[in-house]
Structure 1
Amino acid sequence: MSDDDPVALRFDILCGRRPGLTRDLPPGKEDLQWVVNTATLIYDDTDAVLVDTFTTVDQNQELVDWVEGYGRNLKYIYITHGHGDHFFGVKQLKEAFPAARAIATAAAAKQAAYEGSPEYLDIFWGKAFPGQIPTPPVAPEALDGDRFEMNGHTFQVIETGYTDTHDTSALWVPELRLVVAGDVAYNGIHQYMAETTTESREEWARATDILAALDPRYVVAGHKIPSNSDDPKILAETKQYLTDFNRLDATTGTAGELYEAMLQLYPDRANPGSLWGGAKKAKS
């Protein structure tokens, strides 16, 4: 269908830049110590689905304004997994679009409720972004089933297991051959490894194969350099990064050695803090 067909689906991406979470890394990459989240709007002539939100109040207000600018009725906010930087905007989106349903898999909804709890905010997100997190956070509700529809358009949930955290998912839009990958895929940014193990990184690599088997035309990473294209090759690149990390983890002795060895392979990726956090976890 052409872009001017009123029932055709289209999509757009908003990128939100913020400081990375790991900030004690060795000197030398100060200009890259930031990360970008993506939010993807999929829409027809009347309605829309938003996939993932941002971290801070200011970022999420920008997201609200962006969605409002499309003039569509926001029907769903799909959250790919329970990390706070992907769902904290639900509160502001729901205030702006009261009829929108915020949904996730049952496991991701449970994790989001935990990450939005006062206890977890105190020890993690609130420390990293004091006074900047929308409170109280609103977690998504559990989706009944593995798909939902908007005006006859099908959106299929692909559960991807353990990637950069447990119980992650991606959203497959077959009409567009679009995968909104959440954190299964990264695009020009160091992958968040602080919650991973050798075995879970292997599971993550298998998840990239699951998405590649769909033969997508576009793959939107949960974290990407804004100017990078949404080429499906990022799935293979994400898998290669995991393979390289496991290989170098097995041949290095310290977190510093692993970090430097990975930087030799990936010197220009943003957010080296994620690599440093992963290296420390691997060698702990």
Structure 2
Amino acid sequence: MSTPLRYEVLVTEQIPQNVTGLVPNGDRRIFSPLSITLVSGERDAVLVDPPLTSEQTEVVGDWVEAKGKRLTHIVVTHGHGDHWFGAPALAERFGARVVASAGTIEQMRLNVQIRPQFWDTLFPGQIAGTPVTAVVPAGNRFELEGHALRIVEVGHSDTDETSVLHVPALDLVVAGDVIYNGVHQFLREAQGDGIARWLRAIDTVESLRPRFVVAGHKDRNLDDDAARTIEETRSYLNAAAELLKENDTALDFFNAMLRRFPHRLNAGALWGGATALYA
């Protein structure tokens, strides 16, 4: 007999980056809030997308421990370090198994290679060791107290070889960075047909017919309604594709997007994407 499942989300604070320059609108360069999801049954639990820094990881570990569940798996949805660099420490602390798709594991290794030039520059001395210990579960599936959980590969979103975790028993998709929720989307890797491929990834999430979607970057004041978050993520990308054609400079594109989406968090993420797209 399977037991009922539930999910909870911990959203981290935005933390400053080691960057002196300001965003053109005057904001300080900060990192977007991170969503960490715990899916639990009566005894056991699964953690999805552990955070970036050692301090954030300790907070998440204490949060998990307070739930009183046995952590069996840590799922990584994609290779960006902000969604898994804390996994090795948490796996050791709880004796959990780190799992991901084969493509995501390759992207995790790539993020370890670029860590000295990118991640450690942004957050010097704040990231612990990051060995890639993830394995691919058979058929991209595993169980939590009799319930099937499935890693669904969706291709490119805000980076290559991304996936989502589908929890049918909860009508839930833990979407990593395929879906955003009230936060400016990361467009640095959207060159070429990146936006079109991201839109196809969103279609895959929608085809799972979730009621709830946890976005990898989320405004903690917003709910996880699937229809709204999917549509808002899609609308942001369609607007970006439109405004890229209409604007000649990164600054013009940035300002046009801010006018369309004035209430999303972390304009610095948008500016980073704009400078890459117009490089």
Q: 1:141 aligns with which of 135, 141, 146?
A: 135
Alpha carbon RMSD of aligned pairs, Å?
Answer: 1.9
Kept after mapping to 1: 8 A contact 2:2/2:145: no
* Deviation at residue 20 of structure 1 after TM alignment: 6.3
Relative to the length of structure 1, the TM-score reads 0.92
Q: 1:40 aligns with which of 37, 40, 49?
A: 37
Aligned equivalent of 1:217, options 179, 187, 211: 211
Contact 2:23–2:268 (8 Å) recurs in 1: no
- 1:236 match: 231
Amino acid at match of 1:7: T
Provide the residue aligned with 1:192 in structure 2. 186
1:55 to 52, 60, 75: 52
The answer to whether residue 125 in structure 2 is matched with residue 116 in structure 1 is no
Query: 49-58 vs 198-207, which deviates more?
Result: 198-207
Q: Percent identity?
A: 40
How much does 1:134 deviate? 1.2
* Displacement of 1:26: 3.5
Within the candidate set 9, 12, 16, 2:5 is matched to: 9
Q: Are the structure 2 counterparts of residues 138 and 221 from structure 1 closer, same or farther at C-alpha, using a change threshold of 3 Å? A: same
Q: Are positions 1:274 and 2:269 aligned together?
A: yes
Partner of 2:145: 151
5+ long unaligned stretches in structure 1: none
Measure, in 1, the Cα distance between the counterparts of 2:61 and 2:261. 34
TM-score for both structures, normalised by structure 2: 0.94
What is the aligned residue count? 277
| SS of equivalent to 1:190 | coil
Q: How does 1:11-90 map to 2 (within 5 A)?
A: 11-19=7-15, 23=19, 24-30=21-27, 33-90=30-87
**Aligned partner of residue 149 in structure 2, secondary structure:** strand
Tell whether the 8 Å contact from 2:23 to 2:29 is kept in structure 1 after alignment: no
- What amino acid maps onto 1:113 in structure 2? R
Structure 2: 5+ residue stretches without partners: none
**CA-to-aligned-CA distance 1:189-234 (integer Å, 9 cap, x gap):** 0001111124111111121121112221110000001111001111
1:125 aligned residue (119, 126, 136): 119
Equivalent residues of 2:239, 2:257 under 8 A apart: yes
Change in Cα spacing, 1:39 to 1:8, as seen in structure 2 (3 Å) is same
Aligned match for 1:104, one of 87, 100, 104: 100
Alpha-carbon deviations, 1:217-261, whole Å to 9, x = none?
A: 110000001111001111111011000001000011000000000
